[in-house]
C-alpha cells in the first residue's frame, strides 16, 4: 500500500519544549502531522495548542520515554490512528551530570544508570516497538538526537572545542546512542528506512543554558533535514547541519 500522497506522520519525544518543540514546529510548517511526545500530557497539550495556533497539525501524546507502559501505548495509538509512522525523532534526553560537580571517578553508578535509562535504553525499546510501523512508511526516517559529546574522536582530540568538557554519564550515553544508530542503519541498509544521529549544536535551552551561541530555530534544523531526507540521502551517519561528524 502506497502512502506517496499522504501526509507524513512524525513522533517527536520530549517535544513539549526546547529543541523538540521547535522541531515539531518546523516539521509541521512543512505539512507533517506531528505527535508531541511529552512526559506530562498536560504540558504536551499546551505545546500542541501553541503549534495548532501557528497552523500546525499537532496532537499531544503521553510519553514518558522511561515508562514501558507509555512506550507500548504510544505504539498502539499510532497504529490505531495512522497505521504507520513516517518519522521518529528520539529527542528526549537528560543530563544529570550538569552542575553536579562530578569527576568521572566520582560519578555515582546510579546517575549513570538513570542517564542511560532515558538516553539509551528508552530509545532502543521505543524504536524497536515502532519499527513495524516505520516499515509501513514509503520513506521511514529515524533521527537520534545525540551530541558532539558522543563523539569519541572529538572528546579525545586536544584541539577540539569539547576537549575540556567531560560529563561522563551524558557523554557515554550519547556514544551508546551513536552505536545504536550505526547498528540499526546497517540492519536496515536494504530498505527505504534511513537512520542517522544528530548533533543539534550548543543551543539556548534549559539544558544548554543562556550562554549558548545558537538559537532554538538553528537547534532544530539538523533533525528536520534528516527527517525529510530524499531517497538518495545518507544513512548511518552523524551530522551537525550539513557537516558530517566523526564517530
Instruction: Reply yes or no on whether 2 is catalytic.
Output: no
- Contact assessment for residue 84 and residue 9, using Cβ atoms and an 8 Å cutoff: yes
Q: Which SS3 state, helix, strand or coil, does residue 90 take?
A: strand
Q: Give the HSE-up count for residue 25: Cα atoms under 13 Å, Cβ half-sphere.
A: 19
- Contact assessment for residue 168 and residue 143, using Cβ atoms and an 8 Å cutoff: no
CA distance 2 to 6: 9
Q: Which of 147, 151, 197, 223 is an active site residue?
A: 147
Q: Which of 38, 169, 174, 223 is an active site residue?
A: 174
Distances (CA, A) of 39 to 15, 43, 85, 92, 193: 9, 8, 20, 9, 27
Instruction: Reply yes or no on whether 194 is catalytic.
Output: no
**Residues annotated as part of the active site:** 147, 174
Amino acid at each position: 500500500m502506497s502512502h506517496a500522497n499522504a501526509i507524513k506522520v512524525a513522533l517527536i519525544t520530549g517535544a513539549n519544549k526546547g529543541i523538540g518543540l521547535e522541531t515539531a514546529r518546523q516539521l509541521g510548517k512543512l505539512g507533517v502531522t506531528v505527535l508531541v511526545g511529552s512526559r506530562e500530557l498536560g504540558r504536551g497539550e499546551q505545546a500542541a495548542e501553541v503549534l495548532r495556533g501557528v497552523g500546525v497539525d499537532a496532537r499531544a501524546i503521553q510519553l514518558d520515554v522511561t515508562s514501558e507502559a507509555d512506550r507500548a501505548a504510544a505504539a498502539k495509538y499510532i497504529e490505531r490512528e495512522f497505521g504507520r509512522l513516517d518519522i521518529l525523532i528520539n529527542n528526549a534526553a537528560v543530563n544529570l551530570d550538569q552542575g553536579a560537580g562530578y569527576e568521572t571517578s566520582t560519578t555515582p553508578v546510579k546517575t549513570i544508570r538513570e542517564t542511560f535509562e532515558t538516553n539509551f535504553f528508552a530509545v532502543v525499546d521505543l524504536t524497536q516497538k515502532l519499527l513495524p510501523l516505520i516499515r509501513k512508511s514509503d520513506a521511514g526516517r529515524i533521527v537520534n538526537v545525540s551530541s558532539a559529546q558522543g563523539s569519541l574522536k572529538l572528546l579525545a582530540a586536544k584541539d577540539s572545542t569539547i576537549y575540556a568538557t567531560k560529563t561522563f554519564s551524558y557523554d557515554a550515553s550519547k556514544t551508546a546512542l551513536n552505536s545504536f544508530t550505526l547498528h540499526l542503519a546497517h540492519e536496515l541498509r536494504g530498505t527505504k528506512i534511513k537512520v542517522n544521529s544528530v548533533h543539534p549544536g550548543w543551543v539556548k535551552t534549559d539544558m544548554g543554558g543562556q550562554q549558548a551561541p545558537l538559537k532554538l530555530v538553528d537547534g532544530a534544523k539538523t533533525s528536520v533535514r534528516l527527517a525529510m531526507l530524499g531517497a538518495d540521502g545518507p544513512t548511518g551517519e552523524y551530522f551537525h547541519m550539513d557537516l558530517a561528524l566523526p564517530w
